[in-house]
Amino acid sequence: MKGDRSSYKLNDFIADDSFKEWALGMAGSDFWDGYCKQYPLQQQVVEQARVLLLSLKASQESREDDQVVEAIWENIKKGKAQKSQTVFFSPVFWRVAAAAAVLLICWGGYRFSAQKQPGFGWQDSIAALSDMTEESNTSGKARDIKLPDGSTIRLENNTVLKYDKDFNVATRTVFLRGKAFFDVAKNAQKPFVIHSNGLVTKVLGTSFTIAANEDDQDVTVSVVTGKVAVVPQDRFEALPEKQSAQLSGLVLTPNQKAVYSRESAHLAKTLVENPVVVDKSLVRDHFTFENTPVNEVFAVLSKAYGINLVYDSATFQECSLIVALEDESLYDKLRVICKTLNATYRVMGSEILIEGKGCKQ
Partner 1 sequence: MEPFNDQGTDELLIWRAFKSGDEAAFGEMYRTQVQALLNYGNKINPDRQQVQDSIQDLFIELWNSRERLKDTTSIKFYLFRSLRNKLSKLSKPDHSFPLDNAYETVSDPSVTFYFFDHEIESERIERLQKTILKLSRRQQEAINLRYFHDFNNEEIAEIMGLNYQSACKLIYSGLKFLKENVKLFTFIMLLFN
Residues of this chain that bind partner 1 (CB under 8 A): 10-11, 14-15, 17, 20-21, 24, 26, 44, 47-48, 51-61, 63-64, 68-69, 72-73, 75-76, 79-80, 84, 86-87, 90-93, 95-96, 99, 148-150, 185-189, 204-205, 226-227, 245, 247
- For 315, the 3-state DSSP assignment is coil
Residue 173's beta-bridge partner residues?
A: 193
CB 141 to partner 1: min, Å: 26
Task: State the sign of the Cα–Cα–Cα–Cα dihedral 294, 299, 304, 305.
Answer: positive
Residues in the chain: 361
CB 316 within 8 A of CB 295: yes
23 sits in the region (left: phi over 0; alpha: psi -120 to 50; else beta) called: alpha
- The rounded distance, in Å, linking the Cα atoms of 102 and 32 is 58
- Cβ 177 vs Cβ 160: under 8 Å: yes
Smallest gap, in angstroms, from Cβ of residue 72 to partner 1?
5
Closer to partner 1 at the Cβ: 204 or 354?
Answer: 204
Residue 17 or residue 263: which is nearer to partner 1 going by CB? 17
Q: Closest separation between CB of residue 286 and partner 1, Å?
A: 16
Q: Rounded to the nearest whole angstrom, what is the least distance from the CB of residue 247 to partner 1 in the complex?
A: 8
**Closest separation in Å from C-beta 259 to partner 1:** 25
Smaller CB separation from partner 1, 9 or 339: 9
Cβ nearer to partner 1, comparing 69 with 310: 69
Q: How far is the CB of 359 from partner 1 (least distance, A)?
A: 31
Nearest to partner 1 of 41, 324 (CB atom): 41
Q: How far is the CB of 5 from partner 1 (least distance, A)?
A: 18
What are the Cα distances from residue 338, in Å, to 261, 282, 295, 297?
33, 21, 12, 12
Which is nearer to partner 1, 84 or 125 (by Cβ)?
84
Q: How far apart, in whole angstroms, are the C-alpha atoms of residue 53 and residue 279?
A: 31
User: What H or E segment, with its residue span, contains residue 152?
Assistant: strand 152-155
Residue number with CB closer to partner 1 (67 or 291)? 67
Alpha-carbon distance 157 to 137, whole Å?
A: 5
Give least dist CB 80 to partner 1, A.
4
Name the residue nearer to partner 1 (CB basis): 148 or 358: 148
Phi/psi of residue 76, each to 5°? -65, -45
Sign of the torsion angle spanned by Cα atoms 5, 9, 14, 15? negative
